[in-house]
Chain A
Amino acid sequence: MPDDVGMTAAVQLFPTCIGDVVAQQTATDAERVLDALGIDHHRPSATTCCGQPAYNSGHDGPARAVAKATLKALDDGSDLPILVPSGSCTSMVRLHWRELFHGTPEAEAATRIARRVRELSSYLAEHTDALRELKPSLAVRVGYHDSCHMLRELRIKEAPREVLQTVAGLELVELDSSERCCGFGGTFSGRYPDVSVAMADTKIDDMVAAKIDVLVSSDPGCLMQLAGRMSRQGTPVRAVHLATLMAEALA
């Protein structure tokens, strides 16, 4: 924990379940960026998942059971911001936990956590001056994918772009389809694989036409979808999390 004297701010980091299983690099890269900024951070040890897969499938019981474990892990009595490198998990905790835990003994804690939780890029956007001083640089042509819940529930659109624009040599291209869903949709991707993949393809066509080198997003779910499809097709576009791109630019 930081003391009051130092310049260090402190945050908690919730890696999310996709981060624990598939996208481990994301949380690690987020930590590298925070390190570069001199922001103290730690991961609570017992988080699991925010409950979103069950919640969005209409299974509130299982969602509550799982979310409760994460809630307990995050509710450490501190006021530290909880950074989440996922727009949709942030949205789940920030906007839907109150409803999910309404009328349960966890209701109060859920409200407490909802106030603390922050989507990673929107937190970093408050540190763009400090980021610029670190002279991040990377010569790449980048497109940004607005993930649905981050854009339409959290209403975060500019923050990730502001962060990316601190990188010297980075050219940010606005994709025509930046706001269109990638087709992941959690369980949707498994229920309707063909439709899901077709949805990804329209985004990928757009990226190829825009001749970008890297697609950046702030949602591991979307990235799993888009990177997975592009890998299968041999599309020459990398899909990475904003944290990863920033870590590379700062390295």
Chain B
Amino acid sequence: MSATREDVGGTPLPPGWAKPAHQPDAFELTTTTFAERAAKTMARPFARGAIANATDHAAALTTARFVGTDHEALREEARKIRAHAIANLPDYLDQWIDQAERKGTIVHYAADESEARRIVAQICTDQQITRVVKSKSMASEEVSLNSALEAVGVDIYETDLGEFVVQAMGDRPGHVIAPILHRTKDEVHELFSAMAGHELPNEAEALTAFAREGLRHAFLTADAGISGGNFLIAETGDVLLVTNEGNGRLTTSLPPIHIALVGIEKVLPRRRDLAVLLPLLTGHGTGQQITTYVSVSAGPRRQGEPDGPEQMHVVLLDAGRSALLGGEFEEALHCIRCGACQNVCPVYRQVGGHAYGWVYGGPIGAVLTPLFRGQEEAGELAQATTLCGACDDVCPVKIPLHDLLLNLRRRSDAEGHVPRHEQVAFALWAQVWSRPLLYRASTAVARGSLRALARNGVVSAKSPLLRRWTAGRDLVVGKRPR
């Protein structure tokens, strides 16, 4: 591009502002356990409070949004639409591709993550793209897209404010809707001040203004914009994107090339399905009636149109999705990534998104990660929930997350991924407790031992058998003296 592209407005960000993107093999899923990752977040002084406050706030907004509406009927309608779309996914995808190509969109299909990386990197190389603005995309996180683009010499600018912070910190998004939900304003203040080279006022407005200056320059000089997509409308071949910061609109329409990376399950049959799904997505995501921007990308700029990209590519991402069709976990594909299940999850509230070791946290992460990454790598996540069912009650498309989690536990058992000691323990337990006489003997022994260990009706000794319980709790076996 021309030498004058630096003079367009805004203030370029200092070189080296972005930390290198994470590599596809840098996920901690295989190298650490859930407990270890959870401990890391729980040890960060403000993280837990920040996560709890933010999720409580978001959950309250969602509840308030639907007061006085027939929310249940809307959810049921949404469930039916998603179930129908996924049950007929191949047909609707064909229809979408057909319509999109008619509008001049170039459609690619990525069977897996590395193919997605390769396709987008290839587009960048072919089109001599060296600077990219990106709006928030969890699909791009799934495939570690940024590292693939860096490898072919592309400068990337995450333009969602949260993702921008994530990129500048070398962090990972901690929530599907609110990437820096686990961060505090003070941390952002410190980061931006360091980037600016001087102390910025510790106020949201000043901090956003700083980011906006840098990002404006990036928008105006980018060769391409990369986005995700919230819905693919089969009837029209369009990609729909909801954002609040306006960055999505700029990403998809300002640079000469727009590339959207979208999971194949995002298909909706008809445009009018949005009347049901859109208010549920925004209401469950942020508590809004509708987001500030709802952008529809309907192919490249046509003759006579004053704006829009000259080229539009859509990369349809499979990466484990089609394998779920027709199986007992198909309902996981109904997800519209609203994040509501994360906001009400009592476990997520304590440990945040990173504890789940991959891209998605909370209940949907505990379901999708084992399904996409395999039982061996991620099967443990299905155990990292209390099966409290709060997620089932909030999910706008009524995915039975509790049942899916339980089925994943069953699959771990059936496929032999359960540790040997656990198998043995349950087999032994069944031998004894399926026989009333042995049961009575065993409970008498247990009661006797607990009595022997108890002081004033309380067992607090760290006896080896009870260690995992008594590390942080007592076992109250009698009436506790008052």
Across-interface contacts of A196 in B (CB, < 8 A)? 472
Count of chain A residues near B, Cβ 8 A:
60
Instruction: Answer yes or no: A227 CB below 8 A from chain B CBs.
Output: yes
Q: How far is the CA of A189 from the CA of B384 in the complex (A)?
A: 10
Across-interface contacts of B422 in A (CB, < 8 A)? 57
List the one stretch of A16-24, A109-117, A119-127 in contact with chain B.
A16-24
**Docked-complex contact A65 and B385, CB < 8 angstroms:** no
**Docked-complex contact B458 and A192, CB < 8 angstroms:** no
Q: Which of B349, B389, B434 contacts A68 (CB 8 A)?
A: B434
**Docked-complex contact A56 and B450, CB < 8 angstroms:** no
**Docked-complex contact A227 and B476, CB < 8 angstroms:** yes
Q: Which of B346, B408, B479 contacts A199 (CB 8 A)?
A: B346
Across-interface contacts of A193 in B (CB, < 8 A)? 468-469, 471-473
Known: A17-B433, A69-B433, A227-B480. A195 touches B347 (CB 8 A): yes
Instruction: Answer yes or no: A153 CB below 8 A from chain B CBs.
Output: yes
Q: Which of A45, A153, A188, A194 contacts B383 (CB 8 A)?
A: A188
Instruction: Answer yes or no: A171 CB below 8 A from chain B CBs.
Output: no
CB contact list, A194-219 vs B, under 8 A: 194-200, 202
Instruction: Answer yes or no: B73 CB below 8 A from chain A CBs.
Output: no
Q: How far is the CB of B472 from chain A (nearest CB, A)?
A: 4
CB contact list, A176-199 vs B, under 8 A: 179-181, 183-199
**Docked-complex contact A54 and B385, CB < 8 angstroms:** no
**Docked-complex contact B412 and A58, CB < 8 angstroms:** yes
Instruction: Answer yes or no: B427 CB below 8 A from chain A CBs.
Output: yes
Instruction: Answer yes or no: A40 CB below 8 A from chain B CBs.
Output: no
Q: How far is the CB of B465 from chain A (nearest CB, A)?
A: 11
Q: Give 1 or 0 for each of B376-413: 1 = CB within 8 Å of chain A CB.
A: 00000011111111101100000000000010111111
**Docked-complex contact B429 and A152, CB < 8 angstroms:** no
Q: How far is the CB of B453 from chain A (nearest CB, A)?
A: 12
Known: A49-B433, A62-B427, A180-B346. A225 touches B473 (CB 8 A): yes
Q: Which of A61, A62, A181, A192 contacts B384 (CB 8 A)?
A: A192
Q: How far is the CB of A231 from chain B (nearest CB, A)?
A: 4
Across-interface contacts of B383 in A (CB, < 8 A)? 57, 187-188, 191
**Docked-complex contact A69 and B434, CB < 8 angstroms:** yes
Q: How far is the CA of A72 from the CA of B39 in the complex (A)?
A: 44
Between B350, B446, B468, B477, the greatest number of chain A beta carbons within 10 A of the residue's beta carbon is seen for B350
CB contact list, B315-360 vs A, under 8 A: 346-347, 349-351
Q: Give 1 or 0 for each of A210-251: 1 = CB within 8 Å of chain B CB.
A: 000000000000001101110110000010000000000000
Q: How far is the CB of A29 from chain B (nearest CB, A)?
A: 11
Instruction: Answer yes or no: A163 CB below 8 A from chain B CBs.
Output: no
Q: How far is the CA of A153 from the CA of B406 in the complex (A)?
A: 14
Instruction: Answer yes or no: A66 CB below 8 A from chain B CBs.
Output: yes
Q: How far is the CA of A58 from the CA of B422 in the complex (A)?
A: 11
Between A48, A61, A68, the greatest number of chain B beta carbons within 10 A of the residue's beta carbon is seen for A48
Q: Give 1 or 0 for each of B174-208: 1 = CB within 8 Å of chain A CB.
A: 00000000000000000000000000000000000
Instruction: Answer yes or no: B38 CB below 8 A from chain A CBs.
Output: yes
Known: A73-B436, A202-B52. A194 touches B386 (CB 8 A): no
Q: Which of B385, B429, B468, B476 contacts A228 (CB 8 A)?
A: B476
Across-interface contacts of A43 in B (CB, < 8 A)? none
Between A58, A69, A194, A224, the greatest number of chain B beta carbons within 10 A of the residue's beta carbon is seen for A58
Q: Which of A179, A180, A194 contacts B38 (CB 8 A)?
A: A194
**Docked-complex contact B436 and A188, CB < 8 angstroms:** no
Across-interface contacts of A66 in B (CB, < 8 A)? 429-430, 433-434
**Docked-complex contact A195 and B35, CB < 8 angstroms:** yes
Q: How far is the CA of A239 from the CA of B244 in the complex (A)?
A: 45
Q: How far is the CB of B235 from chain A (nearest CB, A)?
A: 37
Residue of B nearest to A91 (CB): B389
Q: Which of A57, A65, A189 contacts B409 (CB 8 A)?
A: A57
Across-interface contacts of A57 in B (CB, < 8 A)? 383, 409, 413, 422, 426
Q: Which of B426, B439, B468, B475 contacts A224 (CB 8 A)?
A: B475
**Docked-complex contact B410 and A60, CB < 8 angstroms:** yes
**Docked-complex contact B473 and A197, CB < 8 angstroms:** yes
Known: A48-B436, A185-B387. A58 touches B450 (CB 8 A): no
Q: Which of A62, A186, A194 contacts B472 (CB 8 A)?
A: A194
**Docked-complex contact A185 and B410, CB < 8 angstroms:** no
**Docked-complex contact B430 and A148, CB < 8 angstroms:** no
Across-interface contacts of B384 in A (CB, < 8 A)? 188, 191-192, 195
Please list 17 pairs of residues, one from A and one from B, whose beta carbons are closer than 8 Å in the complex, sorted by A's number: A17-B443, A25-B479, A54-B429, A57-B383, A59-B418, A62-B426, A66-B434, A69-B435, A152-B388, A152-B392, A181-B388, A185-B388, A191-B383, A193-B468, A198-B42, A224-B476, A238-B482
A residues adjacent to B (C-beta < 8 A): 17, 20-22, 24-25, 45-49, 53-54, 56-63, 65-66, 68-69, 73, 148-149, 152-153, 179-181, 183-200, 202, 224-225, 227-229, 231-232, 238
Given contacts A48-B433, A185-B388, 14 further A-B contacts (CB under 8 A): A22-B475, A45-B436, A54-B430, A66-B430, A68-B434, A181-B386, A193-B471, A196-B472, A199-B347, A199-B386, A224-B475, A228-B473, A229-B472, A229-B473
**3 smallest beta-carbon distances between A and B, as pairs:** A185-B386, A58-B409, A62-B430
